[in-house]
Structure 1
Amino acid sequence: MVAHFLKLKLTLLGNTLRRSVWQTIGLCVALLYALFVVVGLVFTAIVGGGMDLLLTGQVITLAGAITVLCWWVIPVFVFGVDQTLDPQRFTTFAIPRRTLVAGLALSGVISVPGLATTLAAGGTAFAWWREPWLIPVALLGAVLGIALCVVGSRAVTTVLAPLLESRRYREVVAVAAIVPLVLIGPAIGWASQEIGAVSHETNGGSVTADGSLLAAVLARFGELAAWTPFGAPWSLPVAVHDGAWGVALARFLVAVGTLALLWLIWSRSLARALVTPPAGGGKGSKSKGLGWFGRFPATPVGAVAARCTTYWIRDPRYAAGISIIFLMPVILWLPTRSSGNAELLLLAAPVVSWVLAFSVSNDIGYDYTAFALHVATGTSGRADRWGRALPVLTFGSGVVVIVALLTLALAGRWDLTVPLLGVCLGLLGLTLGVSSAVSATLVYPVAKPGESPLKSPQGAALATMLSQFLAMAVVMLLALPLLGVGVWALVSGSVLAGWLTLAVGLAEGSLLLVAGIRVGARSFDRRAPELLQEVQSFP
C-alpha cells in the first residue's frame, strides 16, 4: 500500500508538469540549483573530514539542527505542506491509519526539498571516510534526521491547521508562529556573548592560525545542539568517535523518542481531521448595516475597495502577514540590545511598506472563483486595480507612518524623520504599482477560501517562488534611485538630502503607482477571461 502512495505521488507530479510548461521549467531549475548546493555541501564535508574530523562533525551537527528546525518552521510562514496527496481525499477509503501515515511520510520525501535534504544528509555521512566504521552510524543519524524533518513538519502543520481555520484562534496562532522569528534577536545576542566568552578563554581572545577559537566555538554550540531533538541524530558519530557510548545512546534515545512523539501527534491529529473535516463556514457574526460597503463610495472602485478591505480584516489567509507587520519593530529591536546599533530599527518601516504593498501581488488568486463577479459584471481594469490599491493606500500609509515614528523614537534619531518617511512612502507607492501590474499578469495557486492558510496547493511552491522572485527583482531595480538618495541622506546627515529623499520618494512612488495601475488595467481588460480560467483550474 505504501508503494501505491509513492507511485501516486510520482504520477500526480508528472501530470502537473505535463499540464504546465512553466512548472516544468521551474522544477528543472530548482533541481539543478538543489543539485549544485548538495554537491557543494557534500564536497565540503568530505574535504573537511580529511582535514579536521571532529570539527567537521560539529559543523554537520549544527547544520543538521538548523535543517530540522527549518523543516518545522518554514512551512508555517511560507508555502505550507505540499498537499499533492491531500489526506482529506482518502477519507472514504478504508486505509489503516498506520499505512496512511507511513505512505504520506515517505511521499513527503519526493519533492525538491525532500530529495535535496536526503542526498545532502546521506552524502555528508561520508565525511567520516577516515574512520570507515563510523559511516554506518552517520547514515543511521541521517535517516533519523530526515525522518524528524518530514514527520515533524507534518505534525506541526497538521496540529496548527484546525486552529488557523477558526477565526477565533487565527490571530493568536499567527502571533505564536512568529515567536521563532522574534527569538532570532536574543539568539544572536546570546551567540555573540558565547563567542566573546570563548575568545577570552582561548589564547586571550586572539584567533590563532590553526583556528582554535573557531573550533572551540563550534564545539560549544555543537555540544549544546547535540542534546536537542534537532541536533541529536547528527551528533551520533561524534559521540561514538569519542568513545562516549552512553552519551551516544542517550542522544539516540532523544532522537527516537522525539520521532515517536511526533509520529503519535501527527497520527492522532490526522485521524481527528479525517473523522471531523473542517467546516466550510462556522457561526456567522451579527453585523449591522453594509459594513465597509457603506463607508466607501458607491462606485465600482469603492465596491472593490470595500470587498478587499473586508478580506484584510476577516480572511485568515492574511493574518500571518498582518502579524509580521505589527511585530517587525519588536523583531528588529531585540538585536539592537546586543549590538548597540539602534539604526537597525529604522529598517522596520521600509520592510512594512514593502510587505503591505506586495501583499496584493496575487489578489486575483486569493479571490478564486469569486473573481467571476468581476468578469460577469464587466468591471473595468481601472476600477479593479484602483479598488485593490485603495485599501493599502488608505490604511497602509497610516500604518507605515506610525511604524516609522515608533522606530525613530526608539532609535532616538528624529533627525532622520524626513528621509525615512520619503523612503517608506516611495517604496509603498512603487511596490504597489508593481504589484498592480504583476497581479493582472501572473497568478499562482494559493489556499482556497475556507481552507487552512498552511495548506499549499499542488504544484504551487515553484510557481510562487518564480512569480515572487520576478516581482521582487523588479521592485528592487526600480527602488535603486530612491534607496540611493536615502542612504546618502542617512550617511551625510544633510537636511537638503533628507528633503530631496522625501521629494524623490513621493514623486517616484506616485509616478510608478499610476504607471503600474495603468499597465495592470490594460492587462486586466485584455486577459480577464483567461485569468478567470486560470484561477478556476487551480487544484
Structure 2
Amino acid sequence: MVAHLVTLKLALLRNGLRRSAWQVVGLVIGLLYGLGFAALLVVGLVVLAVQGDQEVAATTLVLCGGLLVLGWWLIPLVAFGVDATLDPQRFTTFGIPRRQLLVGLALAGLVGVPGLVTVVVALTSAAVWWRDPAAVAAGVVGAALAVAVCVVGSRATTTALAPLVTRRKVREIGTIVVLVPLFMLGPIMAAVGSGLSSVSDSLPEIARVVGWTPFGAPWALPADVAAGSWGPAVAKLVIAVATLAGLAWVWDRALTRALTGGEQREGSQAKVRGLGIFGRVPATPVGAVAARSLVYWLRDPRYAGAVVVVPLVPVMLAFLGGADSLLLLLSAPVGALLFGWAISADVAYDSTAFWTHVAAPITGAVDRWGRVCAALAIGIPGTLVLAVVSLAVSGRWGLTVPLLGFSLGVLATSLGASSFVSARVVYPVPKPGESPFSTPQGSQTAAMISQMVGMVALCALLLPSAGLAVAAALTGSVVLGVVTLVVSIALGAVFLRVGVRLGGAQYDRRAPDLLTTMRGFA
C-alpha cells in the first residue's frame, strides 16, 4: 500500500504534465531552480568539508538545518492547500491501515522539487565529516531523521491545524502576516545581516543551544560524534527520535479526527441587515457587478495582496533612496499600478461562480465597467493618500500637479490593460476560500508569462506620461507639470475606455469558453 500511494502521487504528477504543456514548462523551471539552489548549498557544504573547521561546520549545519525544518513546518500553514493531490480525506471510504497510510503519505510528500532538494542537501551534509567515518555514519542517520522530521512535521502541523487555518479570519490574518515580510524582504535582510555581523561571535553558542531543540538535534548529532562527545550525541539522537515519534502521534490523531469527522467547514454566523454593499450602489447592472467586486476587495484574502502591500511602498522606497529623494514620489504611481493590475485575474478569481455572469446574461461592457468601478472606489482614495504622504515626507509640494496627474493616469491605464487581460487569459488560481499562497498545478508558468507580457505592454503604454512626469520633476517647470496632468489623465482615460471596450468584446465572444476552462480547473 505504501508503494501504491507513492506510485499514485507519481501518476498524478505525470497525468498533470500530460494535461498541459505549461505544467511541463513550470516543472522544468522549478526543477532547474531547485537543483540550482541545491547545487549552491552543496558547494557550500563542500567548502565546509575542505576547510575542516568543525566548529564552523557544526554552527552552519545546525543553524541552517534548523531553519530548513522550521520552514517545512510553517510554510504549509500559510500556503495551505499547496499540495492537495493526496488529500487524506479522499481515502475515507478505503479500508487502508493507518500505519501504511501515514508512511505512504509521508513518502509521497517527498515527491516533488522541495522534497528532492531537501533529501540531496541533507545527505550531502554528511560528507562534511568525511575525515571521521563514525561522524559520517552519524551524519547519514541525522540526515535521515532530519528529512523525516521535516516531512512528518509538515503533515502533522497542517492536519492538526486544518480546522483553524481554514477559517476565513485566520486566512486573512495569515495573508497579512506573510505578505508584509515578503514585501519588506530587502530591509529585513539588511537588518538581519547587520544583526548577524554584530552577534557573529555568539553564533557558535546559539548553535549549541539550537542543537538541543527538535529543529537542530538531527543536524548536531554528527558534530558531537566528531568531537568524541558520545553522551550529548546519544541525547540528541533521543531528542530527534522522540520528536519524530511525537509528530507521528500528533499526525495520527489529527488524521483520525479528519477521516472520521468529515470535512469541517466554517459556518456563516455573520448577521447582515439589508442588502449591505448592494444597497449602497445604483440599482443597475454595472452597480450590481461593482457591488459584487467590492465584496471581493473587502473580504477575499486573494485581493489582500493589492491592498496590504500598498502602505509599505513608501517605506520600501524610503529605504532604497531616502526620505527626501525623488524616488519616494514613486509611491503613488506604484500604488496605483498595484491597484489597477489587481483585477487582471478577476475572472479567474470568480472560478465557477462566473456562471452567474454568463447566465444573467450581462454584456461584456457591463461586466468590465462594474469591475473597474469597484477598483476605482478603492484605488482613487489609496492613490491620493499615497501622493499626499510622499509629498509631505519629501517636502516637494511643488510637484503636486504632475504627481497627481501621472498617478491617476497610471491607475486608469492599468485598469484598462487589466480589463482586457482578465477577459483574454484565465489560468488556475487559488480557489475561493483557499490561501492566496497556494499554487494550483500548472498555474505558475502560465501566470508568469501572461503577467509578464501584460506588464510589458502596460509599461509601454505609460512611457509618454512617464517621460513628461520625469521631465517635470527634474526641471520643476510649472508648465510641464500642467502638461503632465492633462496628458496623463487624458491618455489614461483613452486607454481605460479602449481596454474596457476590447475586454468587453473578448468577454462577449469568449464568456462560455472562459467558464468551461475554469470548470476544468476545479
Which TM-score applies when normalising by structure 1?
Answer: 0.78
Give the Å deviation of 1:374: 2.2
Shift of 1:83: 0.3
Which residue of structure 1 aligns with residue 194 of structure 2? 192
1:188 Cα deviation from its structure 2 partner: 5.0
CA contact (8 A) 2:421 2:454 kept: no
In structure 2, distance between residues paired with 1:411 and 1:262: 53
Alignment gaps of 5+ in structure 2: none
Q: How does 1:344-355 map to 2 (within 5 A)?
A: 352-355=335-338
1:268/1:403 CA distance change after superposition, 3 Å: farther
Figure out how many residues of one structure are paired with residues of the other and give that number: 516
Counterpart Cα distance in 2 of 1:348 and 1:74: 30
Q: Contact 1:349 / 1:404 at 8 angstroms: preserved in 2?
A: yes
Code of the residue aligned with 2:105 in structure 1: it is L
> What's the CA shift for 1:526?
2.9
Q: Where in structure 2 are the equivalents of 1:283-432 lying within 5 Å?
A: 283=268, 285-315=270-300, 317-318=302-303, 321=305, 324-325=308-309, 328=312, 352-403=335-386, 405-406=388-389, 425=408, 427-432=410-415
| Counterpart among 266, 269, 279 of residue 251 in structure 2 | 266
Note the alpha carbon deviations across 1:375-431, whole angstroms, 9 max, x for none.
233433222222222211111221343355456667777777667656754554444
Q: 3-state SS of the aligned residue for 1:83? A: coil
Distance 1:84 1:422, change over 3 A: farther
Alignment match of 1:464 (pick from 444, 447, 450): 444
> 2:49 and 2:39 mapped to 1: Cα distance?
15
Give the aligned residue type for 1:30: G
Equivalent residue, structure 2, for 1:441: 424
Whole-Å separation in 1 of the counterparts to 2:28 and 2:359: 38
Shift of 1:362: 2.5
2:17 — aligned with what? 17
For the structure 1 residues 357 and 478, does the alpha-carbon distance in structure 2 shift closer, same or farther, using more than 3 Å as the test? closer
Q: Does 1:111 pair with 2:112?
A: yes
Matches within 5 A, 1:238-257: 238-257=223-242
Q: How does 1:147-186 map to 2 (within 5 A)?
A: 147-167=148-168, 169-175=170-176
Give the aligned partner of residue 267 of structure 2. 282
Match of 1:475 in 2: 455
Residue-by-residue CA offset, 1:271-297 (whole Å, 9 max, x unaligned): 333333345562354433333333333
CA RMSD of aligned residues (A): 4.3
- CA separation in 2, counterparts of 1:176 and 1:289? 33
2:20, 2:442 within 8 Å by CA — same for their partners in 1? no
Per-residue CA deviations over 1:6-37 (Å, capped at 9, x if unaligned) read 11111222222222222123223322333333
Distance in structure 1 (CA, Å) of the matches to 2:5 and 2:493: 52
Return the offset for 1:39.
3.2
Give the 3-state SS of the residue equivalent to 2:423 in structure 1: coil
Confirm or deny that 1:120 pairs with 2:104. no
- In structure 2, the CA distance between the partners of 1:328 and 1:186, relative to structure 1 (3 Å rule), is same
Residues 116-157 of structure 1, C-alpha deviations (whole Å, 9 max, x = no match): 222233234334334444333333333233233333333443
Structure 2: distance between partners of 1:531 and 1:358: 20
1:475-523 superposed Cα distances (whole Å, 9 cap, x missing partner): 2674484897699689969576887876776566555544443443333
User: Deviation of residue 317 (structure 1)?
Assistant: 4.8
Kept in 2: contact 1:81–1:157 (CA 8 A): no
Would you say the 8 A contact 1:163–1:169 is kept in 2?
yes
1:299-355: CA deviations, max 9, x gaps? 33222211111223344554x53773477479869x96xx99787987876665454
Match of residue 37 from structure 2 = 37
Rate the CA distance shift 1:160–1:193 in 2: closer, same or farther, 3 A.
Answer: same
Letter in 2 for 1:309: L
* 8 Å CA contact retained: 2:134, 2:225: no
Give the aligned partner of residue 203 of structure 1.
none
Question: Is residue 399–residue 476 contact of structure 2 (8 Å, CA) maintained in 1?
Answer: no
Q: Does 1:94 align with 2:95?
A: yes
Distance in 1, matches of 2:243 and 2:316, equals 32
Judged with a 3 Å threshold, the aligned counterparts in structure 2 of structure 1 residues 13 and 182 are, in CA distance, closer, same or farther, namely closer
What letter matches 2:113 in structure 1?
V
Offset of residue 98 of structure 1? 3.7
C-alpha distance in 1, partners of 2:354/2:210? Answer: 49
Contact 2:344 2:421 in 1 (8 A): yes
Give the direction of change, closer, same or farther, for the CA distance of 1:31–1:388 in structure 2 (3 Å limit).
Answer: same
Hey, what's the Cα distance between the residues in 2 that align with 1:500 and 1:65? 57
Deviation digits for residues 35-86 of structure 1 (CA, Å, limit 9, x no counterpart): 3333343244324422455445544444434433443444444574310112
Contact 2:26 2:444 in 1 (8 A): no
SS for the counterpart of 1:82 is coil
Q: Does 1:68 align with 2:69?
A: yes
Q: Which deviates more, 345-354 or 109-118?
A: 345-354
- Letter aligned with residue 517 of structure 2: E
Deviations 1:437-467 (A, max 9, x none): 3322332334444x4437947xx24413541
* Paired residue secondary structure (1:38): helix
**Which amino acid in the other structure matches residue 82 of structure 1?**
D
Q: 1:158, 1:266 within 8 Å by CA — same for their partners in 2?
A: yes
**SS of structure 1 residue aligned to 2:424:** coil
Q: Which amino acid aligns with 2:2?
A: V
Task: Tell me which amino acid in the other structure corresponds to 1:463.
Answer: S
CA distance 1:538–1:48, change in 2 (3 Å): same
Q: Which residue of 2 aligns with 1:453?
A: 435
* Distance across 2 between alignment mates of 1:263 and 1:413: 60
Stretches of structure 1 lacking an aligned partner (at least 5 in a row): 199-215
> Cα distance 1:298–1:235, how it changes in 2: closer, same or farther (>3 A)?
same
